[in-house]
Amino acid sequence: PALNASFTNTINAVAICRTPYKQKFGIPRQPGLVNATGYIEFEPAFNHIDAVRGIEQYSHLWLLFCFHENLSQGWKTTVRPPRLGGNEKLGVFATRSTFRPNGIGQSVVKLHGVVQRHGKVCLKISGMDLLDGTPIIDIKPYVPFSDAITDAKGGIAQDAPILIPVKYTKLAAEKIAQYQVQEHYQGLAELISGVLSQDPRPAYKKAKDDPKLYQVALYDLDIFWHVTDNVIEVLDLKPTS
Ligand code: SAM
């Protein structure tokens, strides 16, 4: 059935999420897996301190957002979750697929406070699984007494993904140490380790020897890495060209 016209006409971004994740490849597949810092920058119509009055009483927030980079590709009735190695299909509503009828995602993130940034009211957050520039369509406090269900069944995603070890070449370690002196890159080593230990490769690549050179984009840096003996090695990092 058609939605009420005033409803369809009034879904606009209330804010834009700023994150270190500049491309989809490498972004954690759920929130809370990697301790990356981000900011929610309110759009002009909502850029008012009163709109977030009282929010700092909460440690976590629900973000509702739009998978804006995938909207043009539409949605599929069934999807192949990466958890199942890409071999099995599940219904779109039985998964967290990004290819959904209304393209809406939701994530619980940690709230660190309300800050002013570039003249805008912003929420400082961490743990998000969002691409930089993602439109936020609503923000709500996470309420543990109701939202945290300790005996809930997690289906195919009962436990957090298994992590893989990450090591660095001398060159990469030295460059990271140099970048981290700048405030903008604080926590860069932890971020790179956190992202890569999730092993972002597609399932079929993990099954056998994989000589490929990979790259993930974090902040304005391209991180180059490969996998040997099930260990990820960071080879180098360069400013994104
Ligand atoms: N926690 C959310 C949910 O359950 O709705 C998102 C889960 S989804 C599997 C997470 C993935 O969405 C990330 O790994 C990234 O590849 C992708 N993603 C994040 N932001 C996006 C955006 N704005 N457009 C398209 N894909 C995005």
pLDDT digits (tens, 9 = 90+) for 62-99: 999 999 999 999 999 999 998 888 789 999 999 999 99
- What is the token pair recorded at 140? 């709500």
The answer to whether 129 and 28 have CB atoms below 8 angstroms apart is: yes
* pLDDT one-digit tens code per residue, 212-233: 999 999 999 999 999 999 999 9
Distances (CA, A) of 52 to 46, 48, 56, 141: 9, 8, 8, 11
Q: Where are the domains of the chain?
A: 5-156, 162-239
Its ipTM equals 0.99
Q: How far is the CA of 129 from the centre of ligand 1 (A)?
A: 6
C-alpha span between 25 and 29 (Å, rounded) = 10
Residue carrying the six token digits 């840096």: 221
Query: 203 falls in which pLDDT band (50, 70, 90)?
Result: confident
Contact between 131 and 69 under an 8 Å Cβ cutoff? The reply is yes
pTM for the model stands at 0.95
Which of 24, 63, 75 gets mutated to test ligand 1 (max ligand atoms within 8 A of its CB)?
A: 24
pLDDT at 241 (0 to 100): 85
CA-only gyration radius of the chain, Å: 19
CATH architecture of 162-239: 2-Layer Sandwich (3.30)
Tell me what percent of the residues of the chain surpass a pLDDT of 70: 97
Q: What token pair was written down for 56? A: 């700092």
CATH number for 5-156 (one of 2.40.30.70, 3.40.50.10860, 3.40.50.10190, 2.60.120.560): it is: 2.40.30.70
Sign of CA dihedral 126, 27, 216, 210: positive
Q: Can you list the pairs that 166-170 forms with residues at least 24 positions away whose Cβ atoms lie under 8 Å?
A: 166/192, 166/193, 166/196, 166/197, 166/231, 166/232, 166/233, 166/234, 167/231, 167/232, 167/233, 167/234, 168/233, 168/234, 169/233, 169/234, 169/235, 169/236
Q: Please report the pLDDT score of residue 183 as a whole number.
A: 92
Domains 5-156 and 162-239 share a fold: no
Buried b (16+ CB within 10 A) or exposed e, 175-191: bbeebeeeeebeebbeb
Q: Is the pLDDT of residue 1 over 70?
A: no
Of 81, 75, 129, 85, the C-alpha closest to 105 is: 129
Distances from the Cα of 26 to the Cαs of 9, 75, 91, 92, 218, in angstroms? 34, 22, 24, 22, 9
Is the C-beta atom of 30 inside 6 A of ligand 1?
yes
**Is any atom of ligand 1 closer than 6 Å to the C-beta of 19?**
no
169 alpha carbon – ligand 1 mean position (Å): 30
